[in-house]
Amino acid sequence: MNITTDRPTFVTHLECGLTGEKLPADELRGLSAAGKPLLVRYDLAALTASLDRSDLASRDQDLWRYREMLPVRETEHIVSLGETMTPVLRCPRVEMDLGTGPVYVKDEGRLPTGSFKARGLCLAVSMAVELGVTKLAMPTNGNAGAALAAYASRAGLECCIFCPDDTPPININEIAAQGARVWPVNGLINDCGKIVGEGKEATGWYDISTLKEPYRIEGKKTMGLELAEQFDWALPDVIFYPTGGGTGLIGMWKAFAELGEMGWIGSKRPRMVAVQASGCAPIVRAFEQGDEFAELWTNAHTVAAGIRVPAAVGDFLILRAVRESEGFATAVDDDAILAAREEMGRVEGLLLCPEGAATYAAYRQELESGRIAKDESVVLYNCATGLKYPLPPVERHLDRHQPIDYAAL
């Protein structure tokens, strides 16, 4: 990161995503009066007047290259662990096998703490510092907690994290190793969220749950800014996004709206596809029923822990983005997720996380269903490094004291 000159930010106010209620910026906020997410609004005309997209070329290859489009006012408040731009990798062998147009994987596993949660938490913690917060708490399925722990420690803030007790052990351990107090809980992420909500008064925690403060989404928005820039300001036809709380999908859609208003991209938008697991698909159900909000999903289960989110406070924002973009929501089975992971590793050398593999499984499924045309260009989000998850064991073993049959190896 190389932010030597103080670049201004152009935040004007916060706005309720449902009612449009406006609130002043630069104050500590959680949800709106209506209990819905607050979105950060900018003076995009002034921003456009002071910044040209070609100005970006000379900047460092990290998230802070979009500094003017982000909410942190003072450079000294930025908490960074090196939020590198992530590569967009074409998959020529998959394209050849399936007979399709361009298939890209955006590999978010390269970010600090190994997942795209770093984007959101980097911004949320920086803003917590700017607004004078000292104690943070959140519920997590693993990766968000790991990112919060790292950024909070980096900033010298206290944090307390609650996760389902069947969260992948590596996640629980990394959270602890990065200096947070982590509590595995006998419940799901929404049960953990309830503990945070109910404990706020007694503890003075700032609740940094998905979409319950306005700034994580601004960090996730950089996925859309980055994608637009990497595609030379001409977006792909379809984006497959593994959807839990939906921050990334909402954030990318917000990025495209802002870039459109700034005249940096044209009117073409990708179709946004929200991918969930069949064992936990509240957004898919709401999409199919034509509902504005999603009902709680009971008995949620899937191997893709990051998208095991039975209820999302930003449900209506996810559904709105999917519908406005003329995309859809779809669910895939765990078997298909694991097969997709195996295939992408074997064929392209890309070890996806299960949630990322879900996007590939969904792509294949929807090619078959005809909802995706073969010639459409698609981006699959691999949201975390595959190394954080349990992998199938290797059963074979070589005895070096026996004669080796080389032809059989």
Q: How far is the CB of 363 from ligand PLP (least distance, A)?
A: 16
- Of the pair 100, 115, the CB lying nearest ligand PLP is at 115
Spatial separation of the C-alpha atoms in residues 114 and 313, rounded to whole Å: 25
Assess contact for 104 and 96: CB atoms under 8 A. no
Classify residue 131 by burial, with Cβ atoms within 10 Å: 0-12, 13-18, 19+.
middle
Q: In this structure, what token pair is assigned to residue 258?
A: 């802002």
Q: How far is the CB of 51 from ligand PLP (least distance, A)?
A: 27
- Of the pair 236, 245, the CB lying nearest ligand PLP is at 245
- Of the pair 100, 210, the CB lying nearest ligand PLP is at 210
Assess contact for 294 and 283: CB atoms under 8 A. yes
Spatial separation of the C-alpha atoms in residues 153 and 136, rounded to whole Å: 11
Spatial separation of the C-alpha atoms in residues 12 and 17, rounded to whole Å: 15
Spatial separation of the C-alpha atoms in residues 403 and 208, rounded to whole Å: 60
Spatial separation of the C-alpha atoms in residues 355 and 382, rounded to whole Å: 7
Q: How far is the CB of 217 from ligand PLP (least distance, A)?
A: 9
Q: How far is the CB of 144 from ligand PLP (least distance, A)?
A: 6
- Of the pair 51, 273, the CB lying nearest ligand PLP is at 273
Q: How far is the CB of 166 from ligand PLP (least distance, A)?
A: 15
Q: How far is the CB of 6 from ligand PLP (least distance, A)?
A: 30
Contact residues: ligand PLP, CB under 6 A: 115, 117, 143-144, 210, 242-248, 306-307, 353, 355, 383-384
Spatial separation of the C-alpha atoms in residues 377 and 383, rounded to whole Å: 19
Q: How far is the CB of 218 from ligand PLP (least distance, A)?
A: 13
- Of the pair 164, 244, the CB lying nearest ligand PLP is at 244
Count the residues in the chain: 409
Handedness of CA 105, 138, 148, 20 (dihedral sign): positive
- Of the pair 71, 142, the CB lying nearest ligand PLP is at 142
- Of the pair 65, 117, the CB lying nearest ligand PLP is at 117
- Of the pair 10, 363, the CB lying nearest ligand PLP is at 363
Sequence-distant (6+) residues with CB within 8 A of 93 are: 347, 348
Phi first, then psi: give them for residue 42, nearest 5 degrees: -125, 160
Q: How far is the CB of 25 from ligand PLP (least distance, A)?
A: 23
Q: In this structure, what token pair is assigned to residue 387?
A: 């190394």
Tally of CB atoms within 10 A around 48: 17
